[in-house]
Structure 1
Amino acid sequence: MTPSDVAAEHAEELRAVRTELDRARTVVAGAGKRTDDLLESLPAPGHRSWMQRATALAAIDATRVLRAAFLDAHAEAVYDELTAGRTHHLRVTELARAAAAAFPGLVPTEEQLTAERSLPQAHKEGREIDQGIFFQHVLRSPQAGPHLLDAMLRPTSRALALLPAFRETGRADLASVRLERTGAVARLTLCRDDSLNAEDNQQVDDMETAVDLTLLDPVVEVGLVRGGEMTHPRYRGRRVFSAGVNLKTLHGGGISLTDFLLRRELGYISKLIRGVRTDVAPAWRSSTVEKHWIAVVDGFAIGGGCQLLLAFDHVIAAADSYLSLPAAQEGIIPGASNFRLTRAVGPRTARQIILEGRRIFASEPDARLLVDEVHDHPALDIAVERAVERLQGSAVLANRRMLNLAEESPDAFRTYMAEFALQQSLRLYSSDVIDKVGRFAAAPPPAAAGTDARG
């Protein structure tokens, strides 16, 4: 087949994927199968020659053009089919799995993703980029996108299973989070003590479970999040809030687009702001349950830890702590910080933090744009209990709801997350990110508290 024949065939396929759904589905399946067959005929990504890499990339890119065109025309019809006319509420991982089964060639199958998870990030095909294309189109749809956001606000099955025991005992010991209720306060302690509370898929699952339990327990009025004491040799016996994404896990291929990056933003962080969806209240009232949230920063809040603070009602920091979003060093997008940080600190400071890697120390004046109180360690615990007492009671929950709505409309958040889904998936597989996280992962532990630390 000549190059002109290939171009003509591709043009015909582009026209076909914009026609009626069943015909378009068949074209996407065929293109995906051809690309998969080609990739299987080549050596593994890490062992390909320059020419083989170019051949693979050309085929992958051509197929992605078809997938994007297909979704441009059919995203809402696809979503309606997967969710039975928006009567089923599928979370992002469930939705991606359903799409792989119902629309072959559109997104990677579970078998393909499982095979990739066993590989270092640098040796993968980058199949999650196809999930990024899919979720970009779903989220930017004015019908499908809000429905998916709603699905992600619903409590997880894990939380619902643990709720009776938590209501009875006031305790839940999760793998990386300890949850304890004292009076009307749910205390979430981040306890990944050997890795400075660096985040991975497990920590996201545990945090969403703990947030759900806090929101669903009618006794609780305030949620308090704080890092526990570390066993890491450089910080042994000291509290640390969070070192952000676990770069060793990212380098090893263990950070998932759906189970970590999208679930984190659309799941528990969104629930901190908007509450958990229950469908218990009458239809004319709000169907979400909200609570007040307080964060306490000991040591540092790096990357995802700093992102998290932007979702809290009240933030207290130790006087010797600092905040940072080292996106420039890592090369990935710092969650929804690009969306939220500017309104907190202004555009110039936001660019300094995100683009130039500026750290904000709790002792400097600009820190008051991100934290509400700064205290030396002897006074920190007292300040925490005073803040908890002030925020108990439901009288100001309505004002909290209205403040959050004024600051961040669901549609604006949805639009941001649509683009985030694609851009973050691309960054995960970019050569500069793979190189940077490889160097971070190989680096020795930091020698001082003022140095970024990862698991």
Structure 2
Amino acid sequence: MAEQTIEVEQRGAVAWVWLNRPELHNALNESLIRELTLVLRGLSDDPAYRVIVLAGRGRSFCAGADIESMKQQGAASATANRDSARELADLFHAIASSRKPTIARVQGAAIGGGLGLVSACDIAIAAVDAKFAASEVRLGLIPATIGPYVVRAIGTRWARRLFQTAERLTAAQAEKIGLVHEAVEAGGLDERVDAIVSDLLMGAPLAQTAAKDLIDAVVDRPISAELIEYTAERIAVVRAQDEAKEGLSAFLEKRKARWVPAQS
């Protein structure tokens, strides 16, 4: 029987996506990478879901690459190695480009590829005992496929240090440098994630997707006449859409907008 590397749990409009290799600290192998990529792409387009929470069964979120997979990659051809690396890169892109808000719920180890998963999510909440590292250089490797997402999360200055030292960070240190948004007591991890989910469900789904696109469009660009015109055009288009009209009507009528779940 094939290993079920991913479990999807529906909690109302929220998909909890569980990495399911707890005995191996949810290490990434080819099966998990492929399955997770397919699941995330499907959820991104599924109207039944509003938010995606990425979590790990057992003691760790994700301890990085599976040892057996690493051995196989070391003996593989250049073409096979490239294909395998591209699949991993596609996974991180599937998270980062999701049309739905994504939250990383982190406990235990988030190392190597696990660090990439955290960085690719929109929001990251960690237990205070979580540990983070870009460990690749200690194996003679580089954090290539996770690199764009980690650098985007923590900036080039910290990336220069962590990519070369491969040192482990505590959750408090990860919060300080912007890798995670909050570090909370382990017993309160799910409660804090649920609170953020509740906040997300109050927002308009199309507006949230557009807001994500806006960030990608304006990041690192100078505030020029061109950018000013772009932002003016974006808000003008959004204002004319049905979702914006419903949001304004709900505000003026002092009621919840139609997209807010009944239990919120």
TM bin, normalised by shorter chain, reads 0.7 to 0.9
Partner of 1:187: 16
Q: Is the 8 A contact 1:360 1:366 kept in 2?
A: no
Q: Would you say 1:247 and 2:56 are equivalent positions?
A: no
Q: Would you say 1:403 and 2:243 are equivalent positions?
A: no
Instruction: Tell me the SS of whatever aligns to 2:27.
Output: coil
Distance 1:207 1:184 in 2: 19
Tell me how large the CA RMSD over aligned residues is: 2.3
Q: Would you say 1:384 and 2:199 are equivalent positions?
A: no
Cα–Cα, structure 1 residues 188 and 180, in superposed 2: closer, same or farther, change >3 Å? same
Instruction: Tell me the SS of whatever aligns to 2:167.
Output: coil
Distance 1:184 1:330 in 2: 41
Give how far 1:408 is off.
Answer: 8.6
Where do 5+ consecutive residues of structure 2 fail to align?
A: 222-264
What is the aligned counterpart of 1:313 among 117, 122, 131? 122
Cα–Cα, structure 1 residues 347 and 258, in superposed 2: closer, same or farther, change >3 Å? closer
Instruction: Tell me the SS of whatever aligns to 1:211.
Output: helix
Amino acid of the structure 2 residue aligned with 1:192 = R
Deviations 1:266-291 (A, max 9, x none): x232122223xxxxxxxxxxxxxx11
Partner of 2:95: 272
What is the aligned counterpart of 2:165 among 335, 353, 356? 356
Give how far 1:209 is off.
Answer: 1.7
TM-score by length of 1: 0.44
Distance 1:195 1:188 in 2: 17
Give how far 1:247 is off.
Answer: 2.4
Alignment of 1:278-297 (within 5 A): 290-297=99-106
Deviations 1:235-265 (A, max 9, x none): xxxx310011112321144875355310121
Q: Is the 8 A contact 2:125 2:180 kept in 1?
A: yes
Give how far 1:365 is off.
Answer: 6.6
Alignment of 1:316-335 (within 5 A): 316-335=125-144
Where do 5+ consecutive residues of structure 1 fail to align?
A: 1-172, 230-238, 276-289, 410-455
Give how far 1:366 is off.
Answer: 5.4
Partner of 2:27: 198
Give how far 1:398 is off.
Answer: 1.0
Deviations 1:82-121 (A, max 9, x none): xxxxxxxxxxxxxxxxxxxxxxxxxxxxxxxxxxxxxxxx
What is the aligned counterpart of 1:209 among 38, 44, 48? 38
Cα–Cα, structure 1 residues 405 and 353, in superposed 2: closer, same or farther, change >3 Å? same
Give how far 1:192 is off.
Answer: 0.9
What is the number of residues matched between the two proteins?
Answer: 213
What is the aligned counterpart of 1:225 among 39, 49, 54? 54
Distance 2:127 2:175 in 1: 15
Q: Is the 8 A contact 1:307 1:335 kept in 2?
A: no
Deviations 1:119-169 (A, max 9, x none): xxxxxxxxxxxxxxxxxxxxxxxxxxxxxxxxxxxxxxxxxxxxxxxxxxx
Q: Is the 8 A contact 1:319 1:377 kept in 2?
A: yes
Distance 2:210 2:128 in 1: 32
Alignment of 1:131-146 (within 5 A): none
Amino acid of the structure 2 residue aligned with 1:406 = V
Q: Which has the larger Rg?
A: 1
Q: Is the 8 A contact 1:190 1:197 kept in 2?
A: yes
Instruction: Tell me the SS of whatever aligns to 1:369.
Output: coil
Instruction: Tell me the SS of whatever aligns to 1:346.
Output: helix
Deviations 1:312-364 (A, max 9, x none): 11100000111100121012221334334334323332122111112221123
Partner of 1:257: 81
Q: Is the 8 A contact 2:112 2:143 kept in 1?
A: yes
Instruction: Tell me the SS of whatever aligns to 2:9.
Output: strand
Q: Please state which structure has a larger fraction of its residues in strand.
A: 2
Q: Is the 8 A contact 2:101 2:208 kept in 1?
A: no
Distance 2:174 2:54 in 1: 24
Distance 2:165 2:171 in 1: 18
